[in-house]
């Protein structure tokens, strides 16, 4: 490609202000390690951006905010794209993969109150107060815990939603805390909701970089930024959701933590499924321990702290040693670590080159085990009611 000859990396992004802030954050991070690279942003709107008069689950498309970007990847119009990880389905189109997940921001939801109710909480808002959200997960939890409140759909980017709030259409909004923080609007947050009150979406708060699964130069370039702690948590979450068969078509929420306990690390995950009215709730928690989550204790969580990562060894032939300076058909003089890239994919995620493969497999299995535990409690039956309702609503709208 001409762009490769010129050492240019084309980066796909949605056009919203938040999406561009997130994309520029990724680019600025990469420039620290690859200063001779030139990055150009190719922005576009997605189906989720264009259709604003229908609630997200009823649009009837799984990849609302990602399909247009992924089409650009597949036809080689861009080299990688930056997503909010929660928007990415757990199964990606053939030939695509997540090359890196950057360090996660606070994944919890935030309550943003109208000025008239700034001294209130969800529990003290007047009966009949309207809460805006486009999420089935948030809707079900609100209805179950605060039946005196009215939950109403709200669409549009963050700027649009906040404008609707200030116009008095809502008493409050529920939004992802991470998005508000990245926009520099932390002062608008009335309260960050604890996980005991509001489980968050799978992958919420993390940025994902998606690329072609066979684009080894880009994969190697991204490898140093694949944040180990974040990777453990979001892999377990995505494995849970994939096994459960959820997505945006059912109220499913999680909370995860990764803590060091003496000489070991403990990954904890709680998953829950709700009925649409929030009355039925199924919840389960599991833990997994690891001796180490990175291939060396000295390795830091970010290449800005330490730019080297040891190779990992695998017991099969599915890996490739590659420097990020390698390119298909030509080379450049990048000074970057050498990685041994394992080409296995876990819920759309490439194997993290800075983590032992057995840790990755255990995280994947932890999510599966959690989903199966909820399935035994009747989760599929609870989810089917919601999915049938959405399917019928979508069919009625299209007819």
Per-residue confidence at 340, pLDDT binned at 50, 70, 90?
low
Round the CA-based radius of gyration of the chain to a whole number and report it: 21
User: Residue 6 pLDDT > 70, yes or no?
Assistant: no
Task: Say which residue, 3 or 234, is predicted with more confidence.
Answer: 234
pLDDT in tens, 349-392: 999 999 999 999 999 999 999 999 999 999 999 998 887 877 76
* Contact between 63 and 41 (Cβ < 8 Å): no
pLDDT of residue 7: 86
pLDDT of residue 332: 36
Task: Say which residue, 190 or 246, is predicted with more confidence.
Answer: 190
* Contact between 162 and 16 (Cβ < 8 Å): no
pLDDT of residue 66: 77
pLDDT of residue 385: 87
User: Residue 267 pLDDT > 60, yes or no?
Assistant: yes
pLDDT in tens, 15-36: 889 999 999 999 999 999 999 9
User: Residue 300 pLDDT > 50, yes or no?
Assistant: no
* Contact between 340 and 229 (Cβ < 8 Å): no
The Cα 57–Cα 248 span in angstroms is 6
* Contact between 174 and 131 (Cβ < 8 Å): yes
Residues 302-328 have a mean pLDDT of 38
pLDDT of residue 172: 98
pLDDT of residue 263: 87
Structural tokens at position 282 = 């199924």
The question of whether 87 is a catalytic residue gets the answer yes
Cα dist from 81 to 25, 39, 51, whole Å:
13, 12, 21
The residue from 87, 109, 342, 364 that is catalytic is 87
User: Residue 62 pLDDT > 80, yes or no?
Assistant: no
> CB-based contacts of 372: which residues, under 8 Å, 6+ apart?
243
User: Residue 303 pLDDT > 50, yes or no?
Assistant: no
Per-residue confidence at 61, pLDDT binned at 50, 70, 90?
very low
pLDDT of residue 395: 54
In whole numbers, what is the pLDDT of the chain averaged over residues?
84
User: Residue 297 pLDDT > 90, yes or no?
Assistant: no
Residues 38-45 have a mean pLDDT of 90
Q: What percent of the chain has pLDDT over 70?
A: 78
Per-residue confidence at 333, pLDDT binned at 50, 70, 90?
very low
Vertex 248, ends 238 and 84: CA angle to 5°?
Answer: 60
């Amino acid at each position: 490609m001409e762009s490769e000859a010129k050492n240019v990396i084309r980066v796909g992004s949605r056009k919203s202000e938040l999406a561009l802030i997130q994309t520029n954050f990724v680019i600025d991070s990469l420039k620290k390690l690859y200063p001779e690279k030139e990055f150009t942003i190719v922005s576009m709107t997605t189906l989720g951006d264009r259709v604003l008069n229908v609630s997200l689950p009823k649009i009837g498309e799984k990849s609302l905010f990602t399909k247009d970007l992924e089409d650009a990847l597949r036809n080689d119009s861009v080299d990688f794209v930056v997503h909010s990880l929660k928007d990415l389905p757990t199964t990606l189109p053939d030939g695509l993969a997540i090359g890196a997940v950057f360090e996660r921001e606070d994944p919890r939801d935030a309550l943003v109150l109208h000025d008239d109710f700034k001294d209130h909480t969800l529990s003290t808002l007047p009966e009949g107060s309207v809460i805006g959200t486009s999420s089935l997960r948030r809707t079900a939890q609100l209805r179950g815990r605060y039946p005196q409140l009215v939950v109403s759909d709200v669409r549009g980017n963050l700027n649009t939603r906040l404008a609707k709030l200030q116009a008095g259409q809502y008493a409050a909004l529920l939004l992802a805390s991470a998005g508000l923080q990245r926009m520099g609007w932390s002062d608008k947050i009335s309260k960050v909701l604890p996980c005991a009150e509001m489980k968050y979406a799978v992958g919420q708060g993390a940025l994902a970089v998606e690329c072609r699964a066979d684009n080894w130069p880009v994969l190697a370039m991204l490898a140093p930024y694949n944040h180990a702690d974040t990777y453990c948590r979001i892999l377990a979450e995505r494995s849970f959701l994939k096994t459960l068969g959820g997505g945006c078509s059912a109220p499913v929420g999680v909370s995860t933590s990764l803590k060091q306990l003496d000489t070991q690390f403990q990954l904890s995950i709680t998953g829950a499924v709700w009925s649409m009215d929030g009355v039925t709730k199924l919840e389960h928690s599991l833990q997994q321990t690891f001796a180490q989550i990175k291939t060396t204790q000295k390795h830091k969580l970010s290449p800005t702290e330490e730019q080297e990562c040891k190779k990992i060894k695998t017991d099969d032939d599915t890996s490739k040693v590659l420097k990020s300076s390698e390119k298909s058909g030509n080379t450049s003089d990048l000074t970057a670590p050498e990685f041994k890239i394992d080409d296995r994919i876990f819920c759309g995620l490439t194997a993290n080159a800075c983590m032992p493969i057995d840790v990755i497999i255990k995280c994947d299995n932890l999510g599966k085990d959690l989903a199966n535990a909820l399935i035994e409690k009747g989760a599929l039956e609870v989810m089917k009611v919601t999915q049938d309702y959405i399917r019928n609503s979508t069919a009625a709208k299209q007819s």
